[in-house]
Structure 1
């Protein structure tokens, strides 16, 4: 299972953190030869993301997706370049090309932080081994004490706010679901969930 050493890069180099997380999380996915280089100049966070996704397309996302390089274009309706969207069109994230690390419209993080959030959230949601529950806030706070918080602003996806936690081989996201809190934990390695089998509450679903 991959470790969480990439967390050390988050405060000062989120591009390195993104590379470290994706390389470790998808190490078991065979690489393929890239199709080619993007035809436009890209900010570094997006360029690095595309370099990783070119070799392992799973990185683009399973439900929500980052747009492919050949899909990038200025959109007058959005006033910028859409880079990511929800599968049913509920939301779109937009940047303005030209900055080294542009702001992402309607998001709390600049591009480097948004891409890391996206990668972590998709990893949790799309993981082959997962658990879901609906807890009180106090129950959820006790649960995440055993995990490591990722030092990013709360994400706005899949609900606002979404907090992200990790442990070796595991990603957990915590977000509001009505009057409850819905933690989702996911891993590509079933053994990473073993210690969460009896967390002090009943999982709604759990296959670890």
Structure 2
């Protein structure tokens, strides 16, 4: 029903995937620059100013100078001038949910930043929970989540069983990172120009969201026995 055949288009590749558990800075850069077109033709000048931020955040801010989408569309990494400590002055808040329901932060110290610090997730006034990946993996996961949420072409099924999820992801590449987001542990699966995230909040059913840079990237999902609420392929 949904199968269409499109002329070849230049889809973002998966070179970044092989660096996810080797050189995560390279993986982040390759994914972000592949997914988001640059807004300008020239590289922004490198800054030599000392920073108390971890290298991963500094890198994302550098990438976002030409690709503002890298800071998120659903949830957001705060622009550097908007970073602030929490009410106790113990955590540096760097990421927020779009309606303010939760935030992400790093332990704030007067010493230099840790090379790859723990990311803390906090809902309202609850106790913070550590994300399973440190900042280097978290920023890749955040980037994948936001890329799929903000994509121009979507495939959205009704809630799926584990068997249906296995069918849907069979032709895709799993991203080898531990689950993202303590609220609803989330895994990622990718193909050229396509990011799928699979979340499980409670019970035996899964929420799935697929976002693509072009209609043709949704073709691997077109013939699946899935009840789609939206399919842009």
TM-score by length of 1: 0.91
**Pairing partner for 1:57 from 35, 57, 68:** 68
**Pairing partner for 1:85 from 93, 96, 120:** 96
For structure 1, the residue ranges without an aligned partner over 5 or more in a row are: none
Aligned-pair distance for 1:36? Answer: 9.0
| Residues 32 and 143 in structure 2, CA contact (< 8 A), matched pair in contact too | yes
CA distances 1:34-65 after superposition (whole Å, capped 9, x unpaired): 59957743211111101001111111111200
| Residues 78 and 94 in structure 1, CA contact (< 8 A), matched pair in contact too | no
Secondary structure, counterpart of 1:130 in structure 2: strand
Whichever structure has more helix as a proportion of its residues is 1
Q: Given the alignment of the two structures, is residue 161 of structure 1 paired with residue 185 of structure 2, yes or no?
A: yes
Identify the residue that residue 121 of structure 1 maps to in structure 2: 145
**1:202 and 1:56, CA in 2 relative to 1: closer, same or farther beyond 3 A?**
same
Q: Distance in 2 between matches of 1:67 and 1:39?
A: 19
How many residue pairs align between the two structures?
Answer: 206
TM-score by length of 2: 0.81
Q: Distance in 2 between matches of 1:202 and 1:129?
A: 17
Identify the residue that residue 103 of structure 1 maps to in structure 2: 118
| Residues 161 and 176 in structure 1, CA contact (< 8 A), matched pair in contact too | yes
How large is the Cα RMSD of the aligned pairs? 2.1
Aligned-pair distance for 1:191? Answer: 1.0
Question: Which of the pair has more CA radius of gyration?
Answer: 2
For 1:1-208, what aligned pairs fall within 5 Å after superposition? 1-27=11-37, 29-31=38-40, 40-77=51-88, 79-97=90-108, 98-105=113-120, 106=129, 107-133=131-157, 134-156=159-181, 159-176=183-200, 179=203, 180-208=205-233
